[in-house]
Structure 1
Amino acid sequence: MNRFSRIFPKINPSSLRVRLTIGIAVFSALGLGGLTTWTGWKMQQLLINSHKENMEQIASRLPLDVEVYSQMLPFTTALEKAISNRETNNTLLWITNTNNTLLAKSSNFNPSSDTYANELINLTKMPLVPEVYHIKGHSYVLCGGELKIRGKVLGKVSIAQDITRDQAMFVAMIQSMGIATILVIILISGGIAFYVSYSLQPLRQISRMTEAVQAEDLGEARLYLNNAPSEVKELAQTVNMMLSRLADAWEKERQFTSNISHELRTSLTIVHGYLQSILRRQQNLTEIQKEALLTAASEAERTIHILQDLLDLARADSGYLQLSKEPCILDDIVTEIVSMAQQNSSREITIEIENNPITIKADSNRIKQILLNLIDNAVKYSDPDTPINVNLHQIKNQVIIQICDKGYGIPLQNQSHIFERFYRVDTARTHSNGTGLGLSIAKTLVEKMGGSISVRSKLGEGSVFTVSLPC
């Protein structure tokens, strides 16, 4: 079943597989249908022509037979003798004089009792060249000619051959051929669909491989196709070259971000230190100067935090972010961070922790950074008079930390992007001067420790960020 679903995936009318299958099947159907139609027409012509040739032979030989027999027998007897030699079950013969009076006929021709025979004898003129006539559902090949003996015209010879049975057999054969053609077209279409789907598997393989490539895997991601057509291999080689160029560009970007963040952070740290030093000796400063220096120091500190976040992200992307995993009591870390956040924000933050201490092996400093970012996010995007709740509990081999707020909430269409770098929900821009890096940093650190982070939010009711870490 799995193999069948791989070869015949969900049908998409716009896919190359469906288009190729339909196109080839249509051309195959037209070709087979045309061949069947031409074969049927040709066979019908051969059948009718054989009857015509037989009737032409009878029409040409019958006067000669009459002339021969009339030399030995009376004229009427000679007519009957000649007709009896030429008649068959399906061949009707009769001879009339110039006044259209019946002189002789074959034994199977009875105009008085046979409706079809009566219709035939009432025909005004017989064709000199054999032609097909349809009379009341029956098909006949008719032919006529003059009866000449010693150059004298004595009457007319009429010949009719009933081909109704042959026509019925021919129609039945054509119907059988039509059914067989339809079945062959269906089988061919199925075979074509299977073959096209099988032939397109390398393209689907390329699609799956490229879909799984992440930014951090660009340096090692390569497509390897062994049994693919040469054109597909060329495509895979082109994709590999593109991945290589993207890897180089990504590496240069990460290196640039890391270098510029490091250099700017160092310079701004020195500037911030000088500003703090001047502020500590503020006796000779005016109020305007103090306010300006405080603003400059605050912005310098904020920029240093942004650069530190960028540096952490660059190190994580490069694989150089080191985590010192050691046993730590999570209850103490959560209590410490909540106390620190309450002092800095003057917000009501409650804690719900299980009675038994929870110990995990992780980087305690990075856990503090994660909690600070999440609590800071909850403080920024909720009203000052609403509480923030931090829950800590253990479920089997997972530790669950939840930061709940009763803030503005996140629209559903934005929730899948909330952990992207520099992403900020438009409706929240007026409430905070955040950088859009805090949640991205938290997600990166959690995943580096083997955990996961998710969000559940509703507009006007608040958000719940859930961090899951292995025990």
Structure 2
Amino acid sequence: MSIRLRLTLWYSALLTVTLCIFSLSIYLFVNYNSYRDVKTEIQDQLRQMRIVSSLNYFNGLNLDFDNQFESNVYIQVKNYTNGDVAKSDNLKRANKQFAVPDPNQNIKEGYVTLKLDQYEFLAYQQPLRLKQNNQIVGLLQIAVFTSPIDNYMKNLRTILIFASFGVIVIAFTIGLFLARKSLRPIENVIRAAKSIQNESDLSMRIPIAGPNDEIGRLTDTLNGMLGRIETTYNELDDAYKAQRRFVSDASHELRTPLTTIRGNIELLERMWPPMLEAGAAGASGLDDSGLSRDGYTSQSDQNRMTMTREAMHDIAGEAKRMSNLVNDLLALARADAGYEMEKTTQPLLPLVEDVARRAQLLPRNADWKIGNLSAIENVQVNAHADFLRQLLFIFVENAFKYTPSGYVEMRAARSQDQAGIIIKDTGIGMNNKEVPHIFERFYRADESRGETSGTGLGLSIAKWIIDEHGGSVEVSTREGEGTTFTVWLPIAFLGSANEV
């Protein structure tokens, strides 16, 4: 429910209560004054008759009314002993009489409403008793015709009800209009905020219209806040762009010397065994100075050559690791820079089989199993082949890394319009609390355990490749039992066997 409607309903409810109280007060006031005059007239007639006290206790009833009463006052006395009824002239002329209650009932003195045909009367009735035993022997009834007053009160009640209802409807309509007009600046603020959110343009400002009231001050505050957010965002964006440029430039610059280092180290490793053999062969002939014919001492130089070879092996391993890290940083720099892959439609099964074949050559301790891949036969996907291979190799290498024993298996699945590649291992697994973070950069699930080496960038790159292909990934893991990754890719279309 909107604020405008709530304000209107609250205002209308308050107005309704006020009108009900006001109308009820008017009705009760008019009702009291109208019937008070009638009651005063009845009391005057009682005093004129002088029978309020003289007839309260008496031995008999023998009444005969003369014309001393007003024509609009109707008097009737019922004699319970003989059934006679004494009436005023107006009742005699109308040949009518009021209904009389049974004397055995508990008749109370006071005002009652009587009816003659369809006409209503307000009457004061007083039981007449014998002095000796207080027995009720008669009933005095003094009535005034009140149908005009009753009709007037009925009309007044109708007028008050319909008038109040009309006022409430009009007030609700006007209140809704005024609330809408009063809250229109807030709607402008909401529209401007949505526009800023949808267009991601922090340079936009909320237009200021109307007086400098609370809403105007709110608009000024929001515009000032947007200005500060824009400044901060631009500074952060500039710093982020500079960081991305640095990572990209550094990755490019590091690749060349690392490639040179790796090439030279691999050349020396290939050349070193022949040199060792030559040194061993020349160790048998020494000249007078204790040197071999090739200029090496027999034992000490052999040890130095062995240590040098080990050092070169370590250098080659670290250079390879740094090259992998640089390649990963370069891939992430491309992702941050909004690099768009050039994808083509191609069969998925040959690509997966190629990865499965080459995965057998990766360093590993676990067995490598190729499961059923028939689910992706004839499946065509819109993909970048090299990046898709890199994606699968990341999951396979990650599975080998965290599976010291057991096996790693790759198989395929299909679900409606998606093809799935499943990589399952029986390795160390993960805690459920770690799963939401595994695709974050530099995050490593087993960092505290220190069981494997790595940078924590592989799964971040894999997630980027999956997102670029419009796919998704599912993770199922249990600590100590292994992990299963399922990569889902949208199917472009299903080709025939000949096409594959």
TM-score by length of 2: 0.56
Q: Does the C-alpha gap of structure 1 residues 299 and 30 become closer, same or farther in structure 2, counting only changes over 3 Å? A: farther
Does structure 1 conserve the Cα–Cα contact (< 8 Å) formed by 2:402 and 2:427?
Answer: yes
Does structure 2 conserve the Cα–Cα contact (< 8 Å) formed by 1:349 and 1:390?
Answer: no
Q: Does 1:438 align with 2:455?
A: no
Q: Does 1:253 align with 2:237?
A: no
Alignment partners' CA distance in 1, 2:156 and 2:394:
83
RMSD of aligned C-alpha atoms?
6.0
Which SS does the other structure have where 2:486 is aligned?
Answer: strand
Does structure 2 conserve the Cα–Cα contact (< 8 Å) formed by 1:358 and 1:394?
Answer: no
Counterpart of 1:45 (choices 29, 38, 41) is 29
Does structure 2 conserve the Cα–Cα contact (< 8 Å) formed by 1:391 and 1:402?
Answer: yes
Q: Does 1:462 align with 2:483?
A: yes
Shift of 1:367: 2.0
Shift of 1:142: 7.5
User: 1:349-392 CA distances to partner (integer Å, 9 max, x unpaired)?
Assistant: 23344496777664332222212211122223334322322438
Q: Does 1:342 align with 2:360?
A: yes
Does structure 2 conserve the Cα–Cα contact (< 8 Å) formed by 1:388 and 1:406?
Answer: no
Alignment partners' CA distance in 1, 2:381 and 2:12:
67
Does structure 2 conserve the Cα–Cα contact (< 8 Å) formed by 1:93 and 1:105?
Answer: yes
Correspondence for 2:330:
311
Shift of 1:48: 1.6
Alignment partners' CA distance in 1, 2:377 and 2:239:
48
Alignment partners' CA distance in 2, 1:290 and 1:171:
117
Which SS does the other structure have where 1:345 is aligned?
Answer: coil
Correspondence for 2:400:
379
Does structure 1 conserve the Cα–Cα contact (< 8 Å) formed by 2:396 and 2:423?
Answer: yes
Does structure 2 conserve the Cα–Cα contact (< 8 Å) formed by 1:257 and 1:311?
Answer: no
Correspondence for 2:12:
28
Does structure 2 conserve the Cα–Cα contact (< 8 Å) formed by 1:418 and 1:439?
Answer: yes
Shift of 1:312: 2.2
Which SS does the other structure have where 1:451 is aligned?
Answer: coil
Alignment partners' CA distance in 1, 2:382 and 2:407:
34
Which SS does the other structure have where 1:464 is aligned?
Answer: strand
Q: Does 1:302 align with 2:325?
A: no
User: 1:296-323 CA distances to partner (integer Å, 9 max, x unpaired)?
Assistant: 664554344334323322322322x253
Shift of 1:328: 6.2
Does structure 2 conserve the Cα–Cα contact (< 8 Å) formed by 1:419 and 1:440?
Answer: yes
Alignment partners' CA distance in 1, 2:349 and 2:234:
42
Shift of 1:463: 0.9
Does structure 2 conserve the Cα–Cα contact (< 8 Å) formed by 1:258 and 1:310?
Answer: no
Does structure 2 conserve the Cα–Cα contact (< 8 Å) formed by 1:265 and 1:304?
Answer: no
Name whichever of 362-371 and 247-256 sits farther off: 247-256
Shift of 1:46: 0.7
Q: Does 1:87 align with 2:76?
A: no
**Gapped runs of 5+ residues in structure 2?**
51-61, 78-85, 114-119, 126-140, 273-301, 493-500
Q: Percent identity?
A: 20
TM-score by length of 1: 0.58
Does structure 2 conserve the Cα–Cα contact (< 8 Å) formed by 1:269 and 1:304?
Answer: no
Shift of 1:259: 1.2
Correspondence for 2:422:
402
Alignment partners' CA distance in 2, 1:141 and 1:318:
99
Q: Does the C-alpha gap of structure 1 residues 403 and 117 become closer, same or farther in structure 2, counting only changes over 3 Å? A: closer
Amino acid at match of 2:422: Q
The structure with more radius of gyration? 2
Q: Does the C-alpha gap of structure 1 residues 26 and 441 become closer, same or farther in structure 2, counting only changes over 3 Å? A: same
User: 1:20-75 CA distances to partner (integer Å, 9 max, x unpaired)?
Assistant: 75565344323302311221121121122122235546767999999xxxxxxxxx
Which SS does the other structure have where 1:44 is aligned?
Answer: helix
Alignment partners' CA distance in 2, 1:204 and 1:408:
51
Q: Does the C-alpha gap of structure 1 residues 414 and 63 become closer, same or farther in structure 2, counting only changes over 3 Å? A: same
Alignment partners' CA distance in 2, 1:140 and 1:243:
82
Correspondence for 1:368:
389
Amino acid at match of 1:342: Q
Q: Does 1:421 align with 2:441?
A: yes
Shift of 1:233: 8.3
Q: Does the C-alpha gap of structure 1 residues 457 and 111 become closer, same or farther in structure 2, counting only changes over 3 Å? A: closer
Amino acid at match of 1:369: Q
Alignment partners' CA distance in 2, 1:363 and 1:434:
26
Alignment partners' CA distance in 1, 2:400 and 2:196:
40
User: 1:399-424 CA distances to partner (integer Å, 9 max, x unpaired)?
Assistant: 54332323454556655554343444
Name whichever of 372-381 and 421-430 sits farther off: 421-430
**Gapped runs of 5+ residues in structure 1?**
1-16, 67-75, 95-102, 124-132, 144-157
Alignment partners' CA distance in 2, 1:305 and 1:294:
17
Which SS does the other structure have where 1:81 is aligned?
Answer: coil
Does structure 2 conserve the Cα–Cα contact (< 8 Å) formed by 1:93 and 1:109?
Answer: yes
Amino acid at match of 1:87: V
Matched length: 395
Q: Which has the higher helix share?
A: 1
Q: Does the C-alpha gap of structure 1 residues 49 and 335 become closer, same or farther in structure 2, counting only changes over 3 Å? A: same
Q: Does the C-alpha gap of structure 1 residues 117 and 361 become closer, same or farther in structure 2, counting only changes over 3 Å? A: closer
Q: Does the C-alpha gap of structure 1 residues 255 and 356 become closer, same or farther in structure 2, counting only changes over 3 Å? A: same
Correspondence for 2:81:
none
Q: Does the C-alpha gap of structure 1 residues 430 and 80 become closer, same or farther in structure 2, counting only changes over 3 Å? A: farther
Q: Does 1:119 align with 2:108?
A: yes
